[in-house]
Amino acid sequence: MRVLANLSNLMIPVFIFYIVAYGFAAKIPVYDVFIKGVKEGLKTVVGIVPTLIGLMIAVGILRASGILELLGGLLGTITDPIGFPGDLVPLTFVKMFSSSAATGLVLDIFKQYGPDSKIGLMTSLMMSSTETIFYTMSVYFMAAKVQKVRFTLSGALLATLAGTIASVILAQSTYSLLF
């Protein structure tokens, strides 16, 4: 096990050294190309920051206003009978916009129910099997200047639904086997 840990610690420096050595061997101005890439990356970051700030503010407002809890309570009356706890409804929506805001909700769920509870297991599985759809689309499409998203949103929403359903099924079957 220690060999694998040491090997993994060496992989990135070896890879970087290989790239630099290959650039020198191919007579590529490695440092100039690196600086050019950094400048382009910073331009991308500057273009993305307003979108990120907008998403973070919107999610913060929703969390602070109590709308998410209200939504969870209302939709929970529908989702509870099918095995999807109403407390996970806000997490499902927030995760589509911001993973860090969703992490705050995860911590709240863990504090209330515990990480080893059935809802805690569902929460963990859901966080690892769904994506921050709107964040990812806004960041990457803005960076790549994509204008037409075609089927991206519908495909991402379908994949999130599948991940959420799978999380519930896996958590219920695993929890019943363990406890």
The string of pLDDT tens digits covering residues 80-99 is 898 899 989 999 988 988 88
Question: Which pLDDT belongs to residue 69?
Answer: 85
CA distance 144 to 43: 12
Q: Is the pLDDT of residue 132 over 80?
A: yes
**Residues 6+ positions from 43 with CB-CB distance below 8 Å:** none
In Å, how far from its chain's centre is CA 3?
31
Question: Which pLDDT belongs to residue 41?
Answer: 86
How do residues 138-168 score in pLDDT, each as one tens digit?
Answer: 777 877 778 787 888 899 999 999 999 999 9
Q: What percent of the chain has pLDDT over 70?
A: 99
CA distance 177 to 179: 6
What is the average pLDDT across 56-77? 86
pTM, whole model, 2 decimals? 0.69
What is the average pLDDT across 126-132? 91
Question: Which pLDDT belongs to residue 85?
Answer: 92
Question: What phi, psi does 178 have (nearest 5°)?
Answer: -80, -35
Q: pLDDT tier at 63 (50, 70, 90 boundaries)? A: confident
